[in-house]
Structure 1
Amino acid sequence: MPAKLSVNLNAVALLRNRRDLPWPSVTGLGRIALEAGAHGLTVHPRPDQRHTRFSDLPEIRALIDDEFPDREFNVEGYPTQDFLDLVEATEPEQVTLVPDDPEQPTSDHGWDFVTNVDILHAIVARLRKNGARVSLFCDPDASEEQIVAAKSTGADRIELYTGPYGGAYDDPAKAANELEKLGKTALLANQAGLDVNAGHDLTVANLPALAKSIPNLAEVSIGHGLTADALEYGMAETVRRFVKACGW
């Protein structure tokens, strides 16, 4: 089965937050994305609420529950107590844990699973008890030792950081090298019993090669490139283009 597409709404929220006005509507564009075939919606509510606001989460939860009950809500973030409380109140189908500093502009590295295995094990257990699938952000070239540690946390999935691959858009040789790393890490994860998600700087142009390198890719979460395309093609047509690029 092709990878499912989760549309990350952070860039939409960032644009909205430039003014003290309710547009562009985060939930409105989320609805358009789901109507066009997106399999889910993703947000990353940071402590300073510079893009997704905490108040957006119950609205997105209600949108999915009321209009698209077969779709999923994915909430990602660093597992502070406030974040965990927010997630438990929202009850997303999936929680993606990232090792970000709150001041980072965006996620740019995966967890050191070996060092953080005990901390992550406790957090994963808490989230799974609340009914969420748990995915852990992972470096594209993680070692077997790291993957074994990721599995031992009790997580269901890893999300491969595809930023270096996306950043090689103008260098085919580098892109091929990054794909090889991603494919090897994905294989290690599958062999360990972990499903594989991917996200960061993915586009209509680079998705097919990624899907070919990771045949069992479960889900991609895409925000920046998708939102950029939506300015040109509109949200609905952009989602259809990305869904097709995933192989549907």
Structure 2
Amino acid sequence: MKKLNGKVAIITGGAGGIGMGMATAFVKEGATVVIVDLNAEVGNETVKTLQEYQPESMFIQANLAEHDKLGNIVTQVVERYGKLDILVNNAHASRMNSIADTTQADFDLSFNTGFYPTFYLMQAALPYLKETKGNIINFASGAGINGDVNQASYAVAKEAIRGITRVAANEFGPFGINVNIIAPIAKSPGMLQWAEENPEYYQGMLSKIPLRRLGEIEDDIGRVAVFLASEDSAYITGQTIMVDGGSIKLR
């Protein structure tokens, strides 16, 4: 039996990159996936691919920075499918800047597209996840854990997501809801573009990955997300799972 058979999942930032990798892994395991993304053109193309595996999957075009409308995403999904089993908060936009050059606008972008959507979507999804004893997967980053240079606004927002995830794990656990974090290094389009623009820094990063490669968005990141969304991880909550080839070993 497929691990996510009959499950309904929301994945933000699902039109491309890691989000698309997870969405593909989910539908192959039987889930109906709702991808949420700002890019309507890419979102409509991606959902066609997903529908080859699960015809009921759909795309919702949304600006996650419009926080007062986030509840509508959850409502729309529940009205169509009758339930919600899995929420994956993957989307996040940011600018690279040193602390000296970071502006309020940099923090606003990072928190408005990353932390706040994660928080408000968890809040909106809670009543429905109580009914299904569902799963939440949030996204952090080694940039926050390591304190990478030139990642001030991104690192802070990602660590805020880790903090609220631990709180949610404690508060939601009595309802049978698991809340975990993936912190990946992946071969996403954004990463590949960054590698091309910063070849020396990229090679240095690659040399520090024990497995000496970037993670595949579906086969590596997507499969771990399937695990965290399935019954296989029923006794895991509040954890940061490093899917980074061994780069960071949390203690």
TM-score, reference length from structure 2: 0.37
TM-score, reference length from structure 1: 0.38
